[in-house]
Amino acid sequence: MKQKIINLQLATHVGALIPFAWMLWDFFTHNYGPDPIREFTLRTGKTALVLLLLSLACTPINTIFKFRQALRLRRPLGLYSFMYASLHFAIFIGVDYFFNFALIQDALLEKRYAVVGLTTGLILLSLAITSTQGWQRRLKKNWKKLHKLAYAAGILAVIHYIWLVKQGVTQPWYFAAVLILLLALRVAPIKKWAGSRLKGV
């Protein structure tokens, strides 16, 4: 059992780092489109969102499928999500806006997706900082309350994505559907119904 857990955690780390390695390869081989800043901004943001949703899926997977090992993956998946979100933000302020804080301020005032994105990043930052056992001991019962903000981060991240892309692009709505499902599976009657249906299969 211990070896299976180690293998699962190793697969999680490898899987989470593959998009980063792929982006590095594409960057150094110039394998990107006519607008590399936008492409890498989208790729880092989308990867952060995928990993965030995967971390949010761990609890329902344990609750419904009784797969307790999934709970061990919440923290690494959440931290990798924060890593890609940080890269996303770094590209935005460092490459797209060249650390011109006057322009960044204008963007935050004029572009609603930028405000939502910044708020999401700050939530992920607070969750990453307090993800250690030391902070869990310090915050006690408040630790769980704080980390429920992960769902708020998921909601804001999906809104950020929807507002960022052009009208008519459907992909962000797929992420929204997955998030709605994950939120629904936390509602007691739905969680109970899903568990009973799976037992009958």
DSSP type of residue 166: P
Task: Express the helix, strand and coil content of the chain in percent, nearest 5 each.
Answer: 85, 0, 15
* pLDDT score at 126: 97
Give this prediction's pTM: 0.92
pLDDT tens, residue order, the chain (201 aa): 667 667 889 999 999 999 999 999 999 999 888 899 999 999 999 999 999 999 999 999 998 888 889 999 999 999 999 999 999 999 999 998 888 889 888 888 889 999 999 999 999 999 999 999 999 999 988 999 999 999 999 999 999 999 988 777 899 999 999 999 999 988 878 777 766 666 554
Cβ atoms of 117 and 160 closer than 8 Å: yes
Where along the chain do its domains lie? 2-199
**Cα(29)–Cα(26) distance, integer angstroms:** 5
Cβ atoms of 10 and 77 closer than 8 Å: no
Q: What are phi and psi of 29, to 5 degrees?
A: -100, 5
